[in-house]
Structure 1
Amino acid sequence: MPNLLDPITRHAAASPTVIALRTATEPWTYAGLHDASLRYAGALRDAGVGAGDRILLAAPSLPEFVVAYMGIQAIGGVAVTVNTMCTTAEIEYYLTDSGARLAIGWHGLGPAVSEAAALVGVPVWTLEPDALVDADPIHGPVGRASDDTAAILYTSGTTGRPKGAQLTVGNLLSAGEIASIISRGTAADRTGTGLPLFHVFGQASVMMAAFTGGGSLSLLSPFTPEGMLDLLRRDDLTIMVGVPTMWNAMLHLAGDAEADFSHLRIAVSGGATLPGEIARVFESRFGCRILEGYGLTETTALGAFNDVDRGGKIGFVGGAVPRLEVEVRDSGGTPCPGGVVGEVFIRGETVMKGYWNRPDATAAVLDSGGWFRTGDLGEFDTDHDLRIVDRLKDLIIRGGYNVYPGEVEEILYRHPDILEAAIIGVPDDHYGEEVAAVVVRQHGSDLTEEEVTAWCRNSLSAYKIPRIVRFVDQLPKGSTGKILKRDIDCTDLQKTSK
C-alpha cells in the first residue's frame, strides 16, 4: 500500500549516498533523509499520533520542513501546512477547522503557533535545526489507501473563510510522477526554488517531483533575487522553479549574467500568468526560455504545461499534462471551440478529494464525473494549447464590454518605466465598473498618469484603457510572490473614478 515517503524509501535503498537536499553546509543524502523522517515518525508515534490524525506544520522552506512533513506522512498522518506569516487568529482557525491534534512550528517564527495552540488546547512542538529527534524510528512507512487524505491545504479565502483542500496520497504521488515526466526529470537533475513548501506549487510539483526523479532539491528561504542567483551558481541548478514576480525580480537585478544560466535545463513559471514581455526579455537577455504551467491547489498544482522538447509558446500554458483532461466550457457547460473564451475545467488523478468538512462547497466545484470547475477563463488555440485569460472573478465589465485584466497588464509590462502592474475594476455609477491601473514605477522614473494612459491607447480599444492610474511603491503579494489584487485598497480609486 502506498505512502508519500515511498520515493525517498526507494532511492534510499537503491542509492543511499545520493544527495536529496543540498544546503550551504552539509547536504542530506536519501538515506539520511529517510532515516530522519522515520525517526520523526517515531516521535509522533510516541506522542500518540496515528493514521488520519491532522498535524499543523508551520515552517519555512528548509530541510527540516521536509523531515517533519515526511515524518507525518510516514506515520500515516495528515499534514496541514500553513503560511509562516499567519497570525494567531488564522492559525487558531486552521487548528479548529481541521481538528488538528498537534501543532509544529519552526523555532525562528514568532509566537503565533504556540499562542493559537494554547487557545485551542492543542500541544505544540518546536521544530529545531536538523530536525533530529531522540526517538526510535518506525520500521517503515504506514501503508495507506490511495484515496486517504495526506495533506490539507487551505485556500486563500477570497469568498468567506478559507476552505481546506484535501489532497490524497494518490494525488500527491501522481503529482510527483507527472511533474517528473513533463520535466524529463532524472537523478542527475538539481532542482532549485524559492517557493514555500507549505504552498501546493512547491510541495507537489517541485518537492515531490524532485524526489520522484531521484535528483536533488535546493531550497531558498526567504526568496531574494540575489539569493536565487547565488543558489543557481552554487548548486549548478538544472531546473529552477518560480512565479512571475520572482523571474521579474531576477531580470531587473541580474546585470550581465548570461553565463549563469548556461547549464539550466528548464525554467518553470506558475502560480500566476507570466507577462509575455518578461518571458521575452528574460530569454533575450539570459538565453533561457521560461516554460509556463498551470494548476491550482485543488488540482495538486497540475493541469497544463508547455512541452519541454517543443519549447512552448509565450503566453500559453501548453496542453493538458499526462493523466489529466482539460476542457474550456461556455456558461451552459458545452465545450468551446478553439479561439473562444470559456471557463476551464480539469479532471484526472491530481484533482482533490474535496474540501474538508465542506460538502456543499465541494459539490459547487466538483461534479459527479470528477470534473473540477476552476473559476479561470481560458481558450485553446489550433494546437490545443491553453491560454489563461484571467480569473472569472477578476473579469471587469465596463459598460457591457468584457475587459480581461491580463490583456491590459501585458501592455503595461512592455513600458520600460513600469516594474509591476495590476489592473482591477472599481465601481462606477455610469459604466458599472471602471478600469484602474495600479503601477510600480522603475526606480528613478517620473512616469505620469497621462503617459500610462497614452501608452495603452496605442495598443488597446478605448473601453480597455485604464481611466484611473495610481502609483504605489509596491504591490501586495502572497507567500509565493503572487500579486494579491484582493488586497489592493480601492477606496481612493473609487473616489477618483470619473
Structure 2
Amino acid sequence: MPNLLDPITRHAAASPTAVALRTDTGPRTYPELHDASLRYASALREAGVGVGDRVLLVAPSVPEFVVAYMGIQAIGAVVVPVNTMSTATELTYFLTDSGAQLAIGWHRLGPTVAEAAGAAGIPSWTLAPGAPTDCAPIAEPVDRAGDDTAAILYTSGTTGKPKGAQLTVGNLLAAGEIGTAVSRSTAADRTGTGLPLFHVFGQASVMMAAFAGGGSLSLLERFTPAGMVEMLRRDGLTVVCGVPTMWNAMLHTAGDTGPTDFAHLRVAVSGGASLPGEIGRQFEARFGCTILEGYGLTETTAMATFNDTDRAGKVGSVGSVVPRLGVEIRDPDGRPCATGTVGEVYVRGATVMKGYWNRPDATAAVLGRDGWFRTGDLGTFDEDKDLRIVDRLKDLIIRGGYNVYPSEIEETLYRHPDIVEAAVVGVPDDHYGEEVAAVVSVRAGSTLTGEQLTEWSRNRLSAYKIPRIVQFVDALPKGTTGKILKRAIDRDELRASSA
C-alpha cells in the first residue's frame, strides 16, 4: 500500500549518501530527510493527529516545509498547504472549510496563523528551523490507498470562495513519476526552484518529481532573480523550474553572464502561464539552455502536456500529452474538435483530482462521470499532436464579433525592445462590446508612449487585435508563483482612462 514518503524511503535505503536537499547550511541526505519526516510524524501522532485528519501548513519553500509535509503524509493525515501571504480571515476560512485539526505556521510569519487557529478553535504550532527532533521516529509510514486524499489545495477563487481540490496519494505519486519521465531526470540531477511549494507546480512537478528520480532539490525561500542565478551557480543545478516572469527577471539581472557560466544546466521547466517566445529565445542565448514548457492545473496535479526534451521545445506549444493521461479538445457541445480547431481542453488520467472538498455540485460541473476534467482553457492540437493553449476561456475578448486571444497580443508586445512585462485584457465598450487594453511596464529610461505602441502594433497585428488602450505601470500585479494576475487589473480604471 502506498504512502507519499515512499520515494524518500526507497532512496534512503538504496543510496544512503545521496543528497535529498541542498540548503544554505549544507546538504541533507535522503536518510536524514526520512528520519526527520518520521520524527515529525511522531510529534503529530502524540498530539492526536491521525489518519484522514487535515493539517494546515503555512510555510515558504524551506527544508522544514518538506519535513512537515512528509511527516503529515507519513501518519496518513491530509496536508492543506496555503499561501504564506494569506490574511487571518483567509486562513480562518481554510481552517473551517477543511475542518483542520491543527495549524502549522512558519516562525517568520508572525501571529497570523495562531490567531486564525484560535478563531477556529484549534491548536497551532510554530515551524522553526530544524523542526522537532526530540521525538523518536515512528516505525514506518502508514499504508494508504491510492485514492485516499493526501492534500487539499485551494484554488485561487476568482469567483466565489476558493474550492479545495482533493489530490490523492495516487495523484501525487503519479505526478512525480511522470515529471521524472518527461524531463529525463536521474539520481544525478540537481533540481532547483524559486517556486512556492504550497503551489501545485512546486509541490508536484518539482518536489515530488525530484524525489521520484532520486536527485537533489534546492530551494529559494523567496524568489529573487539574483538569488536564483546564485543558486544555479552554487549548487550546479542541472534542472531549474519556474514561471515566465522568473525567466524574464533573470534575463534582466544576469548581467554579462553567458552560456559557459551555466554549462551544467540541462533543462529549464516552465509552466503556470504562457511563455512568450521572445523570452524563451533570449533565455537560451544567455543561459545556453532551452526552456521547455508544460501545461497542467491544480486539478490535474500540474500534469497534462510537456515539450519533448529530445526536440528542444517548440515555441508557442506546451508539448504533447504526457504518459498516463489523455487530452481532448472539444467544442461547446462537447464534441471532439478537428486538428487545428480551437476548443476547450479536457484532461483525463492518473493525475486528475478526486474532486472538490465538500463541493459535489462544483465537482459535477467540471468532472464528468467518465473522468474527463473541463479545464476552462482554450487550446488546439497541431499536426504534430502538440498542444497550444490559446487562452483562458474567461479571458477571451470578443471585439465587434471577432475573437481576440490576449496571449497572441502579449507575445507580440514582448517583441518590442522597451517592453519588460505585458498583460492584455478586455474592457467594456459601448460600440464594440469589448475593447483591447494593454497594461505594460517598460525598461528604465524608455520614452515609449501609448500612441507609439498602438502604432507599432498596427504593422504586426490585425486591426481588431490592436491594443487601443495602453496603461503604463511600474510592475504588473503577480501572485506568489510570479504569475501575472489579470484579475487584479482594474478594468474600470482602464475604461475611464480611454474616455
Shorter-chain TM-score: what band?
Answer: over 0.9
1:416-436 deviations in Å (ceiling 9; x for gaps):
001000000111111111110
Structure 1 residue 197 displacement after superposition: 0.3
Asked whether the equivalents of residues 434 and 497 of structure 1 are also in contact (C-alpha less than 8 Å), the reply is no
Contact 1:61 1:221 in 2 (8 A): yes
Distance in 1 of aligned mates of 2:426 and 2:341:
23
Q: What is the aligned partner in structure 1 of residue 231 from structure 2?
A: 231
- 1:411 and 1:459 in contact (8 A); partners too: yes
Please state whether the residue corresponding to 1:108 is helix, strand or coil: helix
d(CA) in 2 for partners of 1:497 and 1:446? 20
User: Which residue of the partner structure matches residue 25 of structure 2?
Assistant: 25
Per-residue deviation, 1:493 = 1.0
> How many angstroms apart in 2 are the aligned matches of 1:402 and 1:166?
34
Say if 1:232 and 1:260, in contact at 8 Å, map to a contact too. no
Preserved CA contact (<8 Å) 1:20 1:33: yes
Identity among equivalent pairs (%): 75
1:420-459 CA distance string (max 9 Å, x none): 0000011111111111000101111111001110111111
SS in 2 for 1:71: helix
Equivalent AA in structure 1 for residue 7 of structure 2: P
Aligned to 1:438: 439
Q: CA deviation at 1:284?
A: 2.5
Match of 2:215 in 1: 215
The residue identity in structure 1 corresponding to 2:292 is L
Q: Give the Å deviation of 1:256.
A: 2.2
Does the alignment pair 1:111 with 2:108?
no
**Cα distance, 1:135 vs. partner?**
1.5
Deviation of 1:110 (Å): 2.5
Q: Distance in 2 between matches of 1:110 and 1:482?
A: 26
Deviation at 1:282, TM superposition (A): 1.4
* Alignment pair present for 1:36 and 2:45: no
Q: Secondary structure at the match of 1:165?
A: strand
* Residues in 2 aligned to 1:238 and 1:492: alpha-carbon distance in whole angstroms: 44
Query: What letter is aligned with 1:378?
Result: G
Query: Residue 382 of structure 2 aligns to which amino acid in structure 1?
Result: D
Deviation at 1:483, TM superposition (A): 0.1
TM superposition shift of 1:401: 0.7
Please say if 1:330 is aligned against 2:324.
Answer: no
Counterpart CA distance in 2 for 1:65 and 1:428 is 47
Give the AA of the match of 2:112.
Answer: A
When normalised by structure 1's length, the TM-score is: 0.99
RMSD: 0.8
Q: Which residue of 2 aligns with 1:451?
A: 452
The aligned counterpart of 2:303 is 302
Q: State the distance in 2 between where 1:478 and 1:155 align.
A: 12
- Following superposition, the deviation at residue 90 of structure 1 comes to 0.4
* Cα distance in 2, alignment partners of residues 193 and 378 from structure 1: 28
For residues 148-203 of structure 1, what are the alpha-carbon distances to aligned partners after superposition, in whole Å with 9 as ceiling and x for unaligned? 00000000000110000000000000000000000111110000000000000000
* Distance of 2:213 and 2:362 partners within structure 1: 35
Which residue in the other structure is 2:73 paired with?
73
User: What's the offset of the Cα at 1:302?
Assistant: 0.5
Secondary structure of the equivalent of 1:333? coil
Equivalent position amino acid for 1:398 in 2: R
User: Is the CA contact 2:43–2:132 (under 8 Å) kept in the aligned structure 1?
Assistant: no
CA distance in 2, matches of 1:174, 1:246: 27
State how far apart, in whole Å, the 1-side matches of 2:128 and 2:355 are: 33
> Which segment is superposed worse, 305-314 or 236-245?
305-314
In the TM superposition, residue 406 of structure 1 has moved relative to its aligned partner by 0.2
| AA partner of residue 427 (structure 1) | P
Given that 2:406 and 2:424 are in contact with CA atoms closer than 8 Å, whether structure 1 keeps it comes out as yes
Q: For residue 206 of structure 1, give the secondary structure of its aligned residue in structure 2.
A: helix
User: 1:261 offset after TM fit, Å?
Assistant: 2.2
- Pairing 1:254–2:254 present: yes
CA contact (8 A) 1:43 1:133 kept: no
What residue in structure 2 maps to residue 54 of structure 1?
54
- The list of structure 1 runs, each at least 4 consecutive aligned residues, that deviate by more than 3 angstroms after superposition, is none
Q: Which residue identity does 2:390 align to in structure 1?
A: V
Is the Cα contact below 8 Å between 1:5 and 1:70 reproduced in 2? Answer: yes
Q: For each residue in 1:364-418, what CA deviation from the matched residue of structure 2 results, as whole angstroms up to 9, or x when unmatched?
A: 0000110000000011110000001100000001111110000000110000001
Counterpart position of 2:408: 407
Contact in 1 for aligned 2:57/2:80 (Cα 8 Å): yes
Partner of 2:203 in structure 1? 203
Aligned partner of 1:75: which letter?
I
Correspondence 1:366-385 to 2 at 5 A: 366-385=367-386
Which ranges in structure 2 are unaligned for 5 or more consecutive residues?
A: none
Q: 1:33 corresponds to which letter in structure 2?
A: L
Describe the SS at the equivalent of 1:177: helix
Find the aligned partners of 1:361 and 1:228 in 2 and give their Cα distance: 38
- CA–CA separation in structure 2 for the residues paired with 1:63 and 1:279: 30
Is the CA contact 1:172–1:208 (under 8 Å) kept in the aligned structure 2?
A: yes
Give the 5 Å matches for 1:240-389.
240-258=240-258, 259-389=260-390
TM-superposed CA distance for 1:145, in Å, is 0.4
Taking structure 2 as the reference length, the TM-score comes to 0.99
Q: How does 1:83-122 map to 2 (within 5 A)?
A: 83-122=83-122
One-letter amino acid of the structure 2 residue matched with residue 198 of structure 1: F
Equivalent residue letter for 2:73:
Q
Q: Post-superposition shift, 1:292?
A: 0.3
Separation in structure 2 between the aligned mates of residue 443 and residue 379 of structure 1, nearest angstrom: 37
